[in-house]
A and B are shown apart, each in its own frame.
Chain A
Amino acid sequence: MRETISFVVNGEHYSKNIDVRLSLLELLREEGLTSVKHGCGVGECGACTVLIDNTPIDSCMYLAVWVDGKTIRTVEGEIKDGKISQVQQSYIDAGAVQCGYCTPGFIMTSTAFVEKHKGQNVDRDEIRKEHAGNLCRCTGYETIICAVESCLKD
């Protein structure tokens, strides 16, 4: 079965006739947004995290048809006028990037977190709690927390 849906990805409008079984992960990757990574396919690792109406969601277990009328953000769209976002820059500066496979998903979770808590006094436990859906096997998370902290401060 197929269905036609309309949605916005990184500011671009899309109208697509899709197989209703398609996951959002598959749809985005087919559109060339390969920052959205497949790590487990069942919502365990968070490598496929994107923002749907500014909420971090595991796109691997989110049906593509559900994004009809919604707005999606991925790391590709966080670059504005050739300049990476504050969160992207903070990941680089804090040394929070290693193999890079979890990085796009983590950055999207952090982006939502920073937008929500900008200017607030947030402790490390709260950062941890709201990043608990993303797994990283390289960094031990220490520098990721540092990156988020630095965004909240600036």
Chain B
Amino acid sequence: MSVGIAVERKDALAKVSGRAKFTEDFSVKGLKHAVYVRSTIAHGRVIKIDTQKAREIEGVRAIFTYEDVPKNLFATAGHPYAIDRAAADVADRLMLTQDIRLEGDEIAIVVADTELIAHRAAAQVEVEYEPYAALVTPEAILAPDARKIHPGGNVVGAHSYEVGGEIKTAEKEAEIVLEGEYSTAMVQHCHLENHIAYAYMEDGDNIIIVSSTQIPHISRRIVSEAINFPLGNIKVVKPFIGGGFGAKQDVIIEPIVAFLTMKMNGTPVQLNLSREETIATTRTRHPFYGKAKGGMTREGELKFLDLDVVSVTGAYASHGHSIAIAGGSKTCTMYPRAVIRYNAKTIYANMPCAGAMRAYGTPQVVFITECLMEDMARKAGIDPLDFRIKNVGLPGDTNPYNKQKILTHGLQECLIKGRELFDWDGKKAAYVDKKTGVIRSGIGVACFSYASGTYPGNVEIASCRLILNPDGSVHVHVGATEIGQGSDTAFAQMAAETTGINYADVKVISTQDTDYTPFDTGAYASRQTYVNGQAVYKAAVELREKILSYAEKVTGQAKEALTIAGDRVVYHAQPETMLITLRDLATDSYYHKNRGGQITSEVSFKTQTNAPSFGCTFVAVDVDIELCKVTIKQIINVHDSGKIINPMTAKGQVHGGMFMSIGAALFEELLVDETSGRIYNNNLLDYKFPTITDMPDLDCAFVETDEPTSSYGVKSLGEPPTISPAPAIRNAILDATGVAPDRLPMSPKNLFEQFKQAGLI
């Protein structure tokens, strides 16, 4: 058995030994280095650009400006192509721009022999601007006389729906109604490896791009669109990647390196963004501004949730309104028996561009929802945990939003399990007299739901090719990308499980190369084990069948009586009796002069299901009123992600997600000046994501439902852990202090204002 056990990661040895090669680690002869000339203002238009001085610097090989790039607008979001063009991503970008929409917008690019020379030359490019007032706050952006950041206006998208009944009726039935306003901050992914790509040309008209990307196949398409080059003549290679978290589910630098090599006769050109560029000019998480209203009966029955949100996408649409659409839909799966109205709008702003980030809008909307739920429970005098247990969805409930029956819904089970593991009731009693003085203690809970892919919003396609090597080992080719989450390991476990071949003999080819890697849209939406897992399963069934058929041919034994056990074919009934080793069988298939052939299987598969996953966070905090500082004393996430393929890597995903949410809850905020659009903290010293000393011990548990729509009972796990910790921490601070924080992060700076307002200090 290979699934369900904590086998060693396939890539662990490569990574601890330094052998894992990331994009920057390959040596390319004659590599040139590109550096952007970036705008120094946040909003305006370039009226003059002079590159003469820069061109005279020794070692500068080329400079291109906005005048030199194709004028076809393209979209960068890493989504599958939308056959329905009305659903296509917003095409609002050129590779280099004359119209400035954020501080650091890309005006020109210098290519030189070294990065240092390119930086020096970029600084010598003289730019004159016509500056406009920077639009940063929703009020300024949506003002009737506000300048249009893009020709189409400042609203990227909007939608609304009312499901599960009518708000008007539900409001009448509700005995307790509460309103609140809650907002979340702009945070950044801060993957340790910055954005990097290089490109060169070979054998005629072929562009090869090596990139730190989550989405090699999508990247190929978008480069083709951006530079007007045939898709089939572009190859994207994805080696090991140093984290992405959604920032690399966007095609950010691949088009320009492809353009540069094309313009420079195939010379290899690399663009390696600095940390400062990565933080401020790639992608961020959309800040949300939410107005929420909810109603319930005195007995604690949730009647309705009415959410009105504004999502700020920054200078360019990137994933645009999809974030607000995806984020909002999850509330309906959490509380499917309530009437839910959701009204959302996404707007441009003269600040860093927001895109996909772990859990894709859901942390924002769930923060708003779970703050409101908490405030309602407290107003009604009902235990917030009991309130949730009573109202969360149950197996068999119908999601009012998509009308799908929820087959496995482990949320209530998660809450009950967490109650026990965390000792909610014991702590609640023990903390009663810890609500005064300088240090106050509180407990909080919050829950979430998520999806296991993007269907039916997008196509969900995955592919898998299995090859039996001459030595009896198996190679797995998948387009699904390993980005640190452990997907290669999970796929190897799945292939081993279904074929019966040893896990150690299954190798997943970790590097994707669009010339030979079968098609898959890549790492996002926590889709890979759910969607690609089904392709692996089908391919493994087929490979097993082919191996046993060939065994029948070679040994003369009926294949129905045979099975694969590790490295050999045995009798079902007598597994200790070996018929033939896989090595001998494979060697025969390759080299016997009169029979056989390479034994392979290949499946391309589209799923038309999308299982919701669930979970919750329990947290205990101490709040130092005078320092406005929150210390997490205990935190535990409980997840229903279906069956767990690898308990060790699963735990790692949960820890990492919790950490990101704790960062967003207490520390992280990309600060933009509201008047100038200037970005204050584009580095890891001033953008404070938690260090090891800021982090508490992390704990997690699983409720393993068996999801019938996936091959191994799995549901999503990569992104979900980062949804509920922040609202749980907020609710614990409220429990400790009586003050209800209404915006993230709950840093000393922000808590100080709220505590002062409440008269605590």
Could you list which residues of chain A lie within 8 angstroms of chain B, going by C-beta atoms? 33-35, 37-42, 44-45, 47, 74-76, 78-79, 84, 88-89, 91-93, 95, 97-104, 107, 124, 127-129, 131-132, 134-145
A48 nearest CB across to chain B (Å) = 11
B17→A84 contact, CB < 8 A: yes
Interface centre among B6, B13, B691 (most CB of A within 10 A): B691
Query: Contacts A99-B242, A132-B691, A144-B692: A124 and B697 contacting too (C-beta < 8 A)?
Result: yes
Q: B695-716: which residues lie under 8 A (CB-CB) from chain A?
A: 695, 697-698
B528 nearest CB across to chain A (Å) = 15
Chain A neighbourhood of B20, CB < 8 A: 100
The complex places the Cα of A151 from the Cα of B11 at a distance, in Å, of 21
Chain A neighbourhood of B87, CB < 8 A: none
| Residue in A34, A129, A137, A140 whose beta carbon sits within 8 Å of that of B190 in the complex | A137
The complex places the Cα of A107 from the Cα of B240 at a distance, in Å, of 18
Chain A neighbourhood of B8, CB < 8 A: 92-93
Query: Does B193 belong to the interface (CB within 8 Å)?
Result: yes
Query: Contacts A34-B25, A97-B15, A100-B484: A137 and B689 contacting too (C-beta < 8 A)?
Result: yes
Name the residue on B nearest A101 (C-beta): B242
Chain B neighbourhood of A78, CB < 8 A: 17
Interface centre among A93, A128, A136 (most CB of B within 10 A): A136
Name the residue on B nearest A99 (C-beta): B484
Binds A, one of B71-79, B419-427, B432-440, B652-660: B652-660
The complex places the Cα of A78 from the Cα of B13 at a distance, in Å, of 12
Query: 21 A-B residue contacts at CB 8 Å?
Result: A34-B18, A37-B192, A38-B24, A39-B275, A41-B275, A42-B683, A42-B685, A45-B275, A88-B17, A95-B651, A100-B240, A104-B18, A137-B189, A137-B243, A137-B245, A140-B655, A140-B658, A140-B662, A140-B695, A140-B698, A143-B655
Name the residue on A nearest B279 (C-beta): A40
B136 nearest CB across to chain A (Å) = 26
Query: Contacts A103-B15, A142-B655: A34 and B21 contacting too (C-beta < 8 A)?
Result: yes
Chain B neighbourhood of A34, CB < 8 A: 18, 21-22, 24-25
B656→A75 contact, CB < 8 A: no
Query: Does B514 belong to the interface (CB within 8 Å)?
Result: no
Q: B219-265: which residues lie under 8 A (CB-CB) from chain A?
A: 240-243, 245
Besides the contacts A34-B21, A99-B242, A140-B662, what 9 more A-B pairs have beta carbons closer than 8 Å? A39-B192, A39-B193, A39-B275, A45-B275, A98-B484, A100-B16, A101-B193, A137-B660, A140-B659
Query: Contacts A137-B189, A137-B190, A137-B243: A75 and B17 contacting too (C-beta < 8 A)?
Result: yes
A115 nearest CB across to chain B (Å) = 17
Chain A neighbourhood of B651, CB < 8 A: 95, 143
Name the residue on B nearest A38 (C-beta): B24
Name the residue on A nearest B684 (C-beta): A44
Query: Does B356 belong to the interface (CB within 8 Å)?
Result: no
A143→B652 contact, CB < 8 A: yes
| B476-504 interface code vs A (CB 8 A; 1 in, 0 out) | 00000001111000000000000000000
A139→B191 contact, CB < 8 A: no
B9→A92 contact, CB < 8 A: yes
Query: Does B82 belong to the interface (CB within 8 Å)?
Result: no
| Residue in A42, A97, A99, A143 whose beta carbon sits within 8 Å of that of B16 in the complex | A97
Query: Contacts A34-B25, A40-B683, A98-B656: A88 and B484 contacting too (C-beta < 8 A)?
Result: no
B18→A98 contact, CB < 8 A: no
B455 nearest CB across to chain A (Å) = 27
Chain A neighbourhood of B648, CB < 8 A: 95
Name the residue on A nearest B652 (C-beta): A95
Query: Does B274 belong to the interface (CB within 8 Å)?
Result: yes
A138→B484 contact, CB < 8 A: yes
Chain A neighbourhood of B275, CB < 8 A: 39-42, 44-45
B274→A41 contact, CB < 8 A: yes
The complex places the Cα of A34 from the Cα of B657 at a distance, in Å, of 28
| Residue in B652, B683, B698 whose beta carbon sits within 8 Å of that of A138 in the complex | B652
Chain A neighbourhood of B655, CB < 8 A: 139-140, 142-143
Q: B14-34: which residues lie under 8 A (CB-CB) from chain A?
A: 14-22, 24-25
A133 nearest CB across to chain B (Å) = 8
Query: Does B194 belong to the interface (CB within 8 Å)?
Result: yes
The complex places the Cα of A24 from the Cα of B190 at a distance, in Å, of 24
Query: Does B649 belong to the interface (CB within 8 Å)?
Result: yes
The complex places the Cα of A136 from the Cα of B649 at a distance, in Å, of 16
B9→A97 contact, CB < 8 A: yes
| Residue in A40, A42, A74, A139 whose beta carbon sits within 8 Å of that of B659 in the complex | A139
B16→A88 contact, CB < 8 A: yes
Query: Does B758 belong to the interface (CB within 8 Å)?
Result: no
A75→B18 contact, CB < 8 A: yes
Query: Does B561 belong to the interface (CB within 8 Å)?
Result: no
The complex places the Cα of A97 from the Cα of B9 at a distance, in Å, of 8
The complex places the Cα of A138 from the Cα of B242 at a distance, in Å, of 9
The complex places the Cα of A110 from the Cα of B244 at a distance, in Å, of 25
Chain B neighbourhood of A95, CB < 8 A: 6, 9, 648-649, 651-652
The complex places the Cα of A33 from the Cα of B21 at a distance, in Å, of 11
Chain A neighbourhood of B18, CB < 8 A: 33-35, 74-76, 104
